[in-house]
A = this chain, B = another copy of it.
């Protein structure tokens, strides 16, 4: 026997009033007489009544939670310290407003379906551009949305100076005299190298490239090593690099996880860091500082990024139509033990 859900009518019947009165009791108590109010609350408490959130949302159009959409599996999101920090930042705002945070699994193909089904008032899109075809429905149905690490004009965007940070990192190594530098990039779909110049990874790459060119070096796709964005990925890539004839004196990685993998693999191979191998990562995740040797890296204000994104989204939600704003937060080269 499945217990029937308690509805507003059940409470109304028990309290001897109309369903409207019960609704008023919770939403506009000033509309009701004092003792009726008491009676309704009493009945509701006894029956354990709580308004059906879907019925409420159907009417009001709002459900009280935000969606975070990342074109990756949920499990990979949570294993990524970058997202942990980012979600923490969003969490600060959500806590303040008593709002839930829905992380969405997105098998790349059915992004559109995920958007349609999600019980949220608005989205934060990470690593997707406004002109992505599957993002179109959000525009069409004008659902409040904020884009992070991606381009857009109708929606507000929050980005970070990836190009500048990468430039600084590469310039630093080049100024130190390094000429054999390898670059660990995000893995590309279908191993198609041109994809590597898209998105966040692409922006970082262009920063490295600019530094190389200013130093009078040819930019060569041979420098690039597509790598899975994880510690293991970094280890694997570096082990492969060591197997080659020409060994790098320095490694630039587009993510800290990869860089840490490189450091681990180099330590196992008894390379001295930074003498035999210099490494600079990207992101400045907490582990970068805590590991030893501590990782040199490019800091980006991840938590602030999350906080700002949530803030923009919530403002848009509260104020109805909201003018799109575009933010570019600074990045900073942080030198620790894996360089110099």
Contacts and interface: CB of A to CB of B under 8 A. Distances in A.
A219 to B, nearest CB: 33
30 contacts: A2-B142, A48-B136, A48-B140, A48-B141, A53-B116, A54-B57, A55-B58, A58-B58, A63-B119, A64-B117, A73-B91, A74-B87, A75-B88, A75-B89, A75-B91, A75-B92, A75-B94, A76-B91, A78-B84, A78-B91, A98-B110, A100-B119, A101-B105, A103-B103, A119-B119, A264-B290, A287-B290, A290-B290, A290-B291, A292-B292
B88 A79 contact: yes
A50 interface: yes
Given A63-B54, A105-B100, A290-B287, A95 B118 contact: no
B95 A74 contact: yes
Contacts of A136: 48
Contact of A3 (B3, B141, B264): B141
A53 B105 contact: no
Contacts of A290: 260, 264, 287, 290-291
B91 A3 contact: no
B117 A107 contact: no
A148 B323 CA distance: 43
Contacts of A79: 84-85, 88
Given A53-B116, A64-B117, A260-B290, A103 B105 contact: no
Interface in A2-55: 2-3, 5-6, 48, 50-55
Contacts of A112: 50
Contacts of A224: none
Interface in A98-124: 98-105, 107, 110, 112, 114-119
A137 interface: yes
Given A54-B58, A290-B260, A100 B102 contact: yes
A102 B65 contact: yes
